[in-house]
Amino acid sequence: MLRIALPNKGRLADEARELFTDAGLEIRAAGPRALTASLGGEFQALFVRAQDIPEFVADGAADAGVTGADLVRESGRALRELTDLTFGRCRLAVAATEESGLLALEDLRSGTRVATVFPRVTAEFFASVGRQVEIVPVSGAAEIAPHIGIADVIVDLVSTGSTLRVNGLREIATVLESSARLIAAPDAREDVARGRALDELVAALRSVLAARDKRYVMANVPRDRLDEVKRVIPGLNGPTIIDIMNGGKFVAVHAVVSAATIYRTIADLKALGAEGILVTRIERLMS
Ligand code: AMP
Residue 52: predicted pLDDT: 97
For residue 224, report the distance from its CA to the centre of ligand 1, in Å: 53
Determine which of 33-42, 56-65, 151-160 has the lowest per-residue pLDDT on average.
33-42
Q: Is the residue at 46 inside a domain?
A: yes
Residue to mutate, 11, 157, 160, ligand 1, most ligand atoms under 8 Å from C-beta: 157
Percent of the chain clearing pLDDT 90 (strictly above): 87
Q: Are 125 and 155 in contact (CB under 8 A)?
A: yes
CB 164, CB 123: distance < 8 Å: no
**Is the pLDDT assigned to residue 40 strictly greater than 90?**
no
Q: Is the same domain home to 83 and 95? A: no
Atom number, ligand 1, closest to the C-alpha of residue 161: 4
DSSP 79: -
The verdict on 273 and 221 lying in the same domain is yes
Distance CA 3, CA 53 (A): 12
Read off the amino acid at residue 42: E
Protein residue with its CA nearest to atom 15 in ligand 1: 159
The pLDDT value recorded for residue 188 is 87
How many A from CA of 156 to the centre of ligand 1? 8
Side-chain half-sphere exposure of 190, counting CA atoms within 13 A: 6
Q: The domain that contains 15 carries what CATH number?
A: 3.40.190.10
Distance CA 100, CA 287 (A): 51
Same domain, 96 and 154: yes
Last residue of a domain, one of 160, 178, 196: 178
**What separation in Å is there between the alpha carbon of 137 and the centre of ligand 1?**
18
Do both 8 and 68 map to the same domain? yes
Q: Which domain-ending residue is among 195, 211, 227?
A: 211
Count of domains for the chain: 3
Residues with CB under 6 A from ligand 1: 11, 68, 88, 90, 156-163
Q: Which of 91, 123, 113, 102 is nearest to 169 (CA)?
A: 102
Q: Model confidence at 138, in pLDDT bands (50, 70, 90)? A: very high
Range of the domain at 172: 90-178
Pick from 203, 187, 181: nearest CA to 25 = 203
Looking at the CA of residue 179, tell me the nearest atom of ligand 1.
19
Q: Clarify whether residues 174 and 94 are in a common domain.
A: yes
CA of residue 4 to ligand 1 center, whole Å: 24
Do 47 and 124 lie in one domain? The reply is: no
